[in-house]
């Protein structure tokens, strides 16, 4: 099946720890994105990448880091510098072009600080 896979579905983090959320896609998409969703709020862009080994900060990048070593993978690390990391994290991917430009989303990872 083609698609975008996030893991784990649920993640618990102790204060002061870094954690990494996985996002893998086999859609051959160039662009990948990380969004954060808080209860009752929309999606806010954390980071995005349009090509391997390159990525840009979104609206709320502080306290997060990413890498794009492979086209298929775009892991997100939530660092101890992120003061309020409890949220639902969504990864997405899309092609870059003028047609078929919708983004495809993974099923999300719910991160809870304990």
Applying CB under 8 A, which of residues 13, 22, 27, 43 lies at the interface with another protein? 43
Residue 3 contacts by C-beta under 8 Å, 6 or more apart in sequence?
25, 26, 27, 104, 106
The token duo for 67 is 């890498």
Query: Does the protein bind another protein through residue 88 (CB under 8 A)?
Result: yes
Distance between CA atoms of residues 90 and 79, nearest Å? 17
Minimum distance, C-beta of residue 15 to another protein, in the bound complex (Å): 24
**Which listed range, 18-26, 60-68, 72-80, 96-104, lies at the site for another protein (CB under 8 A)?**
96-104
Indicate whether 50 belongs to the interface with another protein (CB under 8 A): yes
Q: How many whole angstroms separate alpha carbon 40 and alpha carbon 32?
A: 24
**Separation of alpha carbons 58 and 76, rounded Å:** 13
Please identify which residue in 7, 28, 101, 112 interacts with another protein, judged by CB under 8 A: 101
Residue 75 interacting with another protein (CB under 8 A): no
- Cβ neighbours for 41, distance < 8 A, ≥ 6 positions apart: none
Residues that bind another protein (CB under 8 A): 6, 31, 33, 35, 40-43, 45, 48, 50, 58, 88, 90, 92, 94, 96-99, 101-108, 110
């Amino acid at each position: 099946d083609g698609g975008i896979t996030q893991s784990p579905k649920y993640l618990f983090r102790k204060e002061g720890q870094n954690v990494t959320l996985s996002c893998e896609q086999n859609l051959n998409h160039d662009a990948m994105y990380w969004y954060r969703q808080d209860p009752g709020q929309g999606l806010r862009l954390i980071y995005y990448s349009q090509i391997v080994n390159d990525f840009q900060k979104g609206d709320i990048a502080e306290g997060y880091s990413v890498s794009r070593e492979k086209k298929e993978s775009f892991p997100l690390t939530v660092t101890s510098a992120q003061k309020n990391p409890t949220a639902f994290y969504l990864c997405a991917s899309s092609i870059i072009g003028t047609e078929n430009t919708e983004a495809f989303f993974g099923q999300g990872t719910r991160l809870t600080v304990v």
